Amino acid sequence: MSEHENVDLKPTPGERLTKFFKRSDVIQSTIFGVIVTMIFVILGGKFYTKWMPTVMSTDMKAIERLMVVFTWIAAPVCGVVLGVALYTFLNRHSGDTPPPDGPATRTNGPVVLGWSVVTSVLALVAVIYGITELNSASIATAKNVENSMVVNVVGNQWVWSFEYPELGVQSHELMLPINRPVAFHVTSVDVNHSFWPVQLGVKVDANKLAETLADTTPTKLGEFDVKCAELCGLYHAYMETTGEVMTKADFDNWVIAQGGHTA
């Protein structure tokens, strides 16, 4: 076999990949990308949760976990995009004469394959995780039906009303005892609203002539916000009130003060 026969051999995908990752622009972009990814992983795990509303229920805890995991999944994608953007920005051309065009790139098999596989895996993880979370929320709802306290929530331009059928109480503030599952039966007397007790991690439509169900278990004492999350007219932004998670004793006292009877 003479030597020059080997000259025309195409590089293998492995050789092309090695060559690709030896290019100085690729190395710099990768370093930027890894730094950006690490920043978002740390932000997601340590700081985002601090900037989110206080966790006051089982559902809010699950939402917080979901936000952290999804931030981690998104971090490497963000790393690739911002890594390339940073490299490009730092190596931008200055001066009057634009540089000549580089050779046309048709395709790059290893990059296309790698990118497709990685994004598919990330998307699959997100879908499976999301479905598992939804399913566990439904299982929890089914389990809570037996011993939960029912609260009928009514949206009305532009106030929320809360009725506790078992206790004979009606209120414009949402008082709840700690550690007891609560089932919200949500409806509206006029337009579509959306019942949103923020720190409880619940957000559900309030529609006329229909009842939507949501449930959670409050796990932390203190006040929380109740808002409307559906544009429902002129004073939509003011359709808010407060709620409070109380000890059982405080809740019973409140019920009696409202003229109700404790269960």
| Phi and psi angles of residue 238, each rounded to the nearest 5 degrees, phi first | -100, 5
Tell me the C-alpha distance between 48 and 166, whole Å: 39
Which letter does DSSP use for residue 6 in this model?
Answer: G
**Residue 193 interacts with Cu ion (CB under 5 A): yes or no:** yes
Nearer to Cu ion, 71 or 156 (CB): 156
Residue 188 and residue 206: Cα distance in Å, rounded? 5
Q: Return the residues of window 210-249 that contact Cu ion according to CB under 5 A.
A: 228, 232, 239
How far apart are alpha carbons 197 and 144 in whole angstroms? 19
Nearer residue to Cu ion within complex by CB, 87 or 193: 193
* Residue 188, both tokens: 């509206």
Which residue, 169 or 228, is less far from Cu ion as judged by CB?
Answer: 228
CB 210, CB 154: distance < 8 Å: no
Q: How many helices (H) and strands (E) does the chain have?
A: 6, 10
State how far the Cα of 222 lies from the Cα of 178, in Å rounded to an integer: 10
- Judged by CB, which is closer to Cu ion: 63, or 232? 232
Amino acid in position 67: M
x-or-dash string of contact with Cu ion, 51-90, rule CB under 5 A: ----------------------------------------
Between 30 and 157, whose beta carbon lies closer to Cu ion? 157
- Shortest distance, position 155 Cβ to Cu ion, whole Å: 5
- Token pair listed for 223: 């006040």
Which of 153/169 has CB closer to Cu ion? 153
Q: If binding is defined by CB under 5 A, does position 182 make contact with Cu ion?
A: no
Q: Least distance to Cu ion from the beta carbon of 194, Å?
A: 7
- From the CB of 117, what's the least distance to Cu ion, in Å? 45
Minimal distance, residue 230 CB to Cu ion, in Å: 6
Binding mask 134-173 for Cu ion (x = CB under 5 A): ----------------------------------------
Stretch in the footprint of Cu ion (CB under 5 A) among 35-43, 170-178, 188-196, 212-220: 188-196
Distance CA 261, CA 151 (A): 15
Question: How many residues touch Cu ion (CB under 5 A)?
Answer: 4
CB closer to Cu ion out of 144 and 194: 194
CB 235 within 8 A of CB 193: no
On whether the CB atoms of residues 226 and 186 are closer than 8 A, the answer is no
CB of 163 to Cu ion, least distance (A): 17
The structure tokens listed for 248 are 């059982």
Q: Smallest distance from the beta carbon of 204 to Cu ion, in angstroms?
A: 12
Residue 41's contacts (CB-CB under 8 Å, 6 or more residues apart) are 71, 72, 75
CB 60 to Cu ion: min, Å = 21
Q: Under the rule (CB under 5 A), what is the footprint of Cu ion?
A: 193, 228, 232, 239
